Structure 1
Amino acid sequence: MTITLGLETSCDETGVGLVSDGVLLGQALASSMDEHIRYGGVVPEVAARAHLHSVNSCLREALAEAQLDLTQVDAIAVTSGPGLASSLHVGVAAAKGWSLALGKPLYAVHHVAGHVAADTLEHGPLPDRSIALIVSGGHSSLLKLGDLATDPIIHLGDTLDDAAGEAFDKVARLLGLAYPGGPSVQRAAVDGDPAAIDLPRPLLNSRDERHRYAFSFSGLKSAVARHVQSAQRNGRPIQTADVAASFQQSVVDVLVGKAIAACTDHAIDTLLIVGGVAANAHLREVATERCAAAGITLRIPPLRLCTDNGAMIAAIGDLVVRSGAKPSGLEFSADSSAPLDRSLLI
């Protein structure tokens, strides 16, 4: 039995997880979100200092939950990119220290591959072929996957501007809702009419094949801004719930529509939806209904594994270790803009 420790520090969550043969043994998570709320977004220096404060306590907590001693760890995986440079450096430095002190192999892995691997902790190994929809604050991508540990990751489409989560944050700000925007918009939308406002579905039915699987949410955000500004100019009250529901419906229609098209076009019958926005209840509901109608198997991790966490990095590390991949060594550095071509970055 090989035990892999995973460390995640790409943004504002410090996460440590322990996985063995696809089974989550223990995990711990610390968030500095409360420190960023007053700024309306993540402040890199504040996040990095929070990681420094939390990384060792998270390690101790995860080991205690797993009832393990650090010396029992066989390999270490760390997010080396992408993310906030200052935050990544904290995690990479900590992981290198542990690796050096323990004499254990170290693997530099991609943050987004970790999000995909998180699903295996709940639903087991991935099929030989699958489509992954990655939706978070910084990523909106459709990927064609083979063996996640060893095969190249093929990008079918990516965001051209704002990612889905970023659009939620910006629309929340327009509506005077709290940061982070995803949960705030979802709560506001519960009492709204998703058909109240005619908002665009950007690129959903694009005739340009280059954009068939691409995403663009900047124009949608601008359409919401114009609606809000028009109401303000004309002295009309802003129907926050209706705006939130209409915006959320537009985003969900685009995400699910393109994901199902990718599955159909490539004759692949398994779709994964992962990342922070995968926690959105309406997205999960609509995707479940439409995938069932299309005969597509839908896999979405539980809520606790959607947002950034150490378990997902331990999960992709576990897959990489079991594939027999060569360790990354100690010479690599954090890469804040690391491309997603493979799960193992170095």
Structure 2
Amino acid sequence: MSLPPVYILAIESSCDDTSASVLRGAEALSNVVATQHIHEEYGGVVPELASRAHQQHIVPLVHQALAKANIDKKQLSAIAFTRGPGLLGSLLVGTSFAKSLSLGLGIPLIEVNHMEAHVLAHFLETPGKQPPPFPFLAMTISGGHTQIIRVDDYFRMEILGETLDDAAGEAFDKSAKLLGFPYPGGPLIDKHAAQGDPTRFTFPIPKVGGFDFSFSGLKTSILYFLQRETAANPDFISQNRDDICASIQYTIVRILMQKLRKASKATGIKHVAIGGGVSANSGIRQALKDAEREWGWTTYIPPFEYCTDNAAMIGIVGYFKYLQGDFATLNVSAKARYRLGS
């Protein structure tokens, strides 16, 4: 006699994307995302506006996710939600909704660490892709986080290195702002970099010990470089935009890959996975593919829809926790700072 399928409703609301997903086991039946465009006019995410937008989006999105999955809410086995880390106001919206629906339906509640979800997104069933075997190295790269993690099992992870100040995604976005690009500017740097010469301009590689990162000094050097060049030639940026973007991207990717290679050599692990919004960057993806040939790695790159913040990745963590009976109580609260493994 076969067991009934496990259906997980997942909710993600850690920053400025509201998302809902329905999983049947490890398969995402739906994964819908509402992006908040209101932040573009402010050049960055405004926390209060983000939480208000989550309140507007969450109910319609959950209805849409259920409808797209062709699932009635009474068929759900559990509800998984992002507990943290993230913007507290945004997290509170998702946490409160998940707790209320869990109570109303009388089904288990599962809390999920957002960074853990980026790592385990590789275990979502994806045609033509296999998940990495344990142990593997995971590099999570986003606007708020840059980490190298040793993953020995679904819930045994160790942070080997992380950023000491700014994240790689912030370095991309702040550099883009200096170049006059609208928010979010990281993807625009990637677009222009494809047409530029990555060796045209040289930026410093920060000297940071161990497997940790630092990007604040790089941002400052880019600022001073642009100020100096535009003082001599007001049209410098417009005349050299592609080469500037290519050089910035080349430097950031080089910083990431140097640390990742160092971690691989120290641990002997050659299965390497990436995750987080910045893992959609074409320069990073190409560098990983080059590493397969040069360093003998086997690399794992998630589909674009699972790179940025999405509820399907929350759902896969929820599924594995459901199988272990790892449920939260209704006393659970959102945590803006929620360290991996805590």
TM tier, shorter chain? over 0.9
Q: Which among 96, 100, 103 is matched to residue 93 of structure 1?
A: 96
| Partner residue in 2 for 1:146 | 152
Q: Deviations over 1:318-338 (max 9, x none)?
A: 11112x143111101100011
Tell me, in whole angstroms, the C-alpha distance in 2 between the residues paired with 1:341 and 1:317.
16
After the TM superposition, which residues 117-128 of structure 1 pair with which residues of structure 2 at under 5 Å, given as runs?
117-121=120-124, 122=126, 123-128=129-134
Tell me, in whole angstroms, the C-alpha distance in 2 between the residues paired with 1:258 and 1:141.
10
Q: Which among 55, 58, 72 is matched to residue 69 of structure 1?
A: 72
| Partner residue in 2 for 1:48 | 51
Cα contact 2:321–2:327 (8 A) shared by 1: no
Cα contact 1:8–1:91 (8 A) shared by 2: yes
Q: Tell me if 1:27 matches 2:25.
A: no
Q: Tell me if 1:170 matches 2:148.
A: no
Q: CA deviation at 1:212?
A: 2.2
Tell me, in whole angstroms, the C-alpha distance in 2 between the residues paired with 1:326 and 1:313.
14
Q: Tell me if 1:39 matches 2:42.
A: yes
Q: Deviations over 1:287-314 (max 9, x none)?
A: 1111332111100101111000111101
Cα contact 1:4–1:19 (8 A) shared by 2: yes
| Partner residue in 2 for 1:136 | 142
Q: Tell me if 1:318 matches 2:319.
A: yes
Q: CA deviation at 1:23?
A: 1.2
Tell me, in whole angstroms, the C-alpha distance in 2 between the residues paired with 1:227 and 1:76.
49
Inter-CA distance 101–126: structure 2 relative to 1 (3 Å threshold): farther
Q: CA deviation at 1:125?
A: 4.3
After the TM superposition, which residues 1-346 of structure 1 pair with which residues of structure 2 at under 5 Å, given as runs?
1-32=5-36, 34-121=37-124, 122=126, 123-148=129-154, 150-151=155-156, 153-203=157-207, 211-235=209-233, 237-238=236-237, 239-322=240-323, 324-341=324-341
Q: TM-score, normalised by structure 1?
A: 0.93
Q: CA deviation at 1:124?
A: 4.3
User: What SS does the aligned partner of 1:119 have?
Assistant: helix
Tell me, in whole angstroms, the C-alpha distance in 2 between the residues paired with 1:11 and 1:130.
27
Following TM superposition, the consecutive aligned residue runs of length 4 or more in structure 1 with deviations greater than 2 angstroms are 122-126
Q: Deviations over 1:83-133 (max 9, x none)?
A: 001000000000001100011111111001111121211334442211000
Tell me, in whole angstroms, the C-alpha distance in 2 between the residues paired with 1:195 and 1:178.
25
Structure 2 unaligned segments of length 5 or more: list them: none
Cα contact 1:15–1:30 (8 A) shared by 2: yes
Tell me, in whole angstroms, the C-alpha distance in 2 between the residues paired with 1:325 and 1:294.
40
Cα contact 1:81–1:110 (8 A) shared by 2: yes
Q: Deviations over 1:269-288 (max 9, x none)?
A: 21111000000011101111
Aligned length: 332
Q: CA deviation at 1:267?
A: 1.3
Q: Which amino acid aligns with 1:330?
A: L
Q: CA deviation at 1:76?
A: 1.0
Tell me, in whole angstroms, the C-alpha distance in 2 between the residues paired with 1:27 and 1:224.
38
Q: Which amino acid aligns with 1:212?
A: G
Tell me, in whole angstroms, the C-alpha distance in 1 between the residues paired with 2:311 and 2:180.
32
Q: CA deviation at 1:234?
A: 1.6
Cα contact 2:132–2:300 (8 A) shared by 1: no
Tell me, in whole angstroms, the C-alpha distance in 1 between the residues paired with 2:326 and 2:272.
29
User: What SS does the aligned partner of 2:253 have?
Assistant: helix
Tell me, in whole angstroms, the C-alpha distance in 2 between the residues paired with 1:19 and 1:116.
17
Inter-CA distance 41–134: structure 2 relative to 1 (3 Å threshold): same
| Structure 1 vs Structure 2 CA RMSD | 1.3
Q: Deviations over 1:33-60 (max 9, x none)?
A: x100000000111111111111111111
